[in-house]
């Protein structure tokens, strides 16, 4: 299954920092450079202040990404995510990540993701303790550890995240992937890898540069990925 790629040591470019006027070209650039996990940041103006994109854009990219052998990794920064899981699954999401802080019904939300046929991810804000994952650890395929506060690209990596990653790795079964998101670059990614992360979301470091392909490849090389 394609989504197994989410378990490998990989960089996942985040389209949040891409040029939306030529989104398909930007995705093609990083996929030609080797990317196979494309990270999509969905924001609702409530859970986080900005509003970004929804299922329409996931659907618009699905044919291209799947056709090139990739997967769509959808990060929902929205309140009550369980209400929108099916729409994102129908649009072509391969993995759907919900925030623990965004719903009182996180067990229900994660089950909804799995029932929709997607890999289920649980995201934690920087202020949420690692131990919070334990009650749903058996339901999650990956834990997304926010290494900045959610809502914006281009922020600085929060240093205390390294110790948190070590705690998460100790709490989670080996089958559960740890994804890091925020401030990931060639300096922070290897340190996150040493602490147990294997999936590295990068927005501004890749798309904020004149040559996203070169940035993608350098970042992948920094963690020993392809
Ligand atoms: C932030 C998003 C990130 C964002 C990361 O809320 O979840 O995925 O794109 O951006 P950078 O890599 O610029 O920190
Ligand atoms: Zn994200």
Closest ligand (CA of 152): 1
Ligand 1, residue 48: give the atom nearest the CA. Answer: 6
Which domains are delineated in the chain? 2-222 (3.20.20.70)
Calculate ∠ Cα 148-43-201, nearest 5°. 45
In sequence order, the 6+-apart residues with CB closer than 8 A to the CB of 67 are none
Is 194 tagged catalytic?
Answer: no
Q: Could you tell me if 144 and 124 are in contact, meaning their C-beta atoms sit under 8 angstroms apart?
A: yes
> What stretches of 11-120 show up as alpha helix (H) in DSSP?
23-32, 55-67, 85-91, 106-115
Instruction: Give the residue, by CA position, lying nearest to ligand 1 atom 4.
Output: 153
Report whether residue 103 contacts ligand 1, using a CB cutoff of 6 Å.
no
Instruction: Give the residue, by CA position, lying nearest to ligand 1 atom 6.
Output: 150
Amino acid 152: pLDDT: 98
Amino acid 1: pLDDT: 52
pTM of the full structure: 0.98
Q: How far is the CA of 155 from the centre of ligand 2 (A)?
A: 12
In sequence order, the 6+-apart residues with CB closer than 8 A to the CB of 208 are 17, 153, 154
Is 181 tagged catalytic?
Answer: yes
Amino acid 2: pLDDT: 74
Residue whose CB lies within 8 A of the most ligand 1 atoms, among 16, 147, 151, for a mutation test: 16
Parts of the chain with a pLDDT under 50: none
- Other beta carbons less than 10 A from residue 79's beta carbon: 16
């Amino acid at each position: 299954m394609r989504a197994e790629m989410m378990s490998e040591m990989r960089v996942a470019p985040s389209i949040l920092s891409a040029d939306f006027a030529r989104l398909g070209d930007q995705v093609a650039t990083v996929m030609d450079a080797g990317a196979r996990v494309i990270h999509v940041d969905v924001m609702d103006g409530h859970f986080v202040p900005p509003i970004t994109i929804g299922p329409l854009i996931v659907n618009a990219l699905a044919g291209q990404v799947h056709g090139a052998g990739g997967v769509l990794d959808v990060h929902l920064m929205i309140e009550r995510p369980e209400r929108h899981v099916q729409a994102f699954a129908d649009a072509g999401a391969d993995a759907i990540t919900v925030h623990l802080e965004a719903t009182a019904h996180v067990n229900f939300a994660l089950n909804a993701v799995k029932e929709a046929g997607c890999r289920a991810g649980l995201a934690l804000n920087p202020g949420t303790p690692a131990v919070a994952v334990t009650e749903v650890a058996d339901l999650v395929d990956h834990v997304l550890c926010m290494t900045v506060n959610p809502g914006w690209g281009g922020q600085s990596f929060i240093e205390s995240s390294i110790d948190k990653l070590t705690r998460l790795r100790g709490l989670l079964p080996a089958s559960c992937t740890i994804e890091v998101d925020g401030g990931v670059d060639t300096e922070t990614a290897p340190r996150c890898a040493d602490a147990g992360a294997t999936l590295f979301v990068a927005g501004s470091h890749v798309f904020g540069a004149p040559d996203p392909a070169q940035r993608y490849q350098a970042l992948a090389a920094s963690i020993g990925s392809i």
